[in-house]
Amino acid sequence: MYKDSKIYVAGHTGLLGSALMKRLIGDGYSNVITQLHSELELTDKNSIFDFFSTENPEYVFLAAGKVGGIESNKSYPAEYLHVNLAIQDNIFEAAQKYAVKHLIFYGSSCIYPKQCLQPMKEEYLLTGLTEETSEGYATAKISGIIGCKVYNQQYNTNRFIALIPSSMYGPNDNFDIEHSHVISALIRRFHEAKVNNHESATLWGSGKPRREFIYSEDIAGASVFAMQNADRFENRHYNIGTGADYSIKELASITAKIVGFDGEILWDKSKPDGAQRKLLDSTKFLSFGWKPRISIEEGLRRTYEWYQEQSVAQAAI
């Protein structure tokens, strides 16, 4: 991937997409193309084919898709299945037809079985049932992983690369309470409790489940590394994580301290916990020489600073 290679970032305004844009531009890549959702409907095959035939991107980062937290996944499983399958299918077909050099697809740790050995190795895929609350989304992501493999097999290519990040967080995450992931939800709840002088903040679940988190800019760095080293990869998916996990209670304590909320943290155990633990075994990807750089404390601090800036900007409108 050269500095003047034509690179398409799908989903460039989202959590991962914005981190990819920052990394690519910062590294001097000068020919990065993007399209807003209002300009290009990724679930429409004809629109995607017209775009690829006109623009002819050489490299594609497929960071677009429908994502959300536990409650949203439970409420709209068909939407999570349909939207993600449609986007993947259209862009995979276009990438093959118009001879993209390499495409990176992103899965999720929810692809692994609910009762999975820890840490989760790539080989554990499809060895058990996934968590019920994310079944639609997980099924779509599993299909994308298998899609990368079978396209490469059928067309005798290494065009498609599947990466499985652990739970991502960072600037441009979704901080809506209903649709957010755990870190963005924690930041918003603690921030609002602080500014409203609340004596306590109530969080969902028991706080016992353990999760592994990785800063979005670390995944962006891993993605550029993967493009640059694509010929070294086997036709399989690769986990990408930090190797460290935290209980939600531990994470809440760290986040509250960074936000500056010193009230009591309460737990609503009527809300679902999800899988009890998700820790990826990232040995295979790390063996190529890449490693994450941002600690959980530093990542949370950066994310909260961004959230505060957005809150101030929105209040001024």
- The tens digit of pLDDT for each residue in 94-125 reads 999 999 999 999 999 999 999 999 999 999 99
Quote the tokens at residue 219. Answer: 């995944």
Pairing verdict, β 160-165 and 245-247: unpaired
Would you give the DSSP letter of residue 193?
A: H
Question: Any idea what the Cα angle at residue 14 is, between residues 100 and 74, rounded to 5°?
Answer: 105
Model pTM score: 0.94
What is the pLDDT, as a whole number, of residue 315?
65
Lowest mean pLDDT among 41-50, 51-60, 79-88, 272-281: 272-281
| Mean pLDDT for the stretch of residues 295-307 | 96
195: alpha, beta or left? (left if phi > 0; alpha if psi -120 to 50): alpha
Question: Residue 299's pLDDT band (boundaries 50, 70, 90)?
Answer: very high
Whether 137 sits among the annotated catalytic residues: the reply is yes
Pairing verdict, β 200-204 and 160-165: unpaired
Question: Residue 142's pLDDT band (boundaries 50, 70, 90)?
Answer: very high
Q: Which domains can be identified in the chain, with CATH numbers?
A: 7-316 (3.40.50.720)
What is the pLDDT, as a whole number, of residue 198?
96
On the question of pLDDT at 10 being above 70, the answer is yes
| Percent of the chain predicted with pLDDT > 90 | 85
Strands, E assignment, the chain: 7-10, 32-33, 59-62, 102-106, 160-165, 167-169, 200-204, 210-215, 237-240, 245-247, 264-268, 277-278
| Mean pLDDT for the stretch of residues 247-268 | 96
Question: Of the residues 8, 80, 137, 307, which is catalytic?
Answer: 137
Question: Residue 317's pLDDT band (boundaries 50, 70, 90)?
Answer: low
What is the pLDDT, as a whole number, of residue 70?
77
What proportions of the chain, in percent to the nearest 5, are helix, strand and coil? 45, 15, 40
Would you give the DSSP letter of residue 100?
A: -
| Mean pLDDT for the stretch of residues 12-35 | 97
What is the pLDDT, as a whole number, of residue 178?
67
- Is residue 136 within 8 A of residue 80, CB to CB? The reply is yes
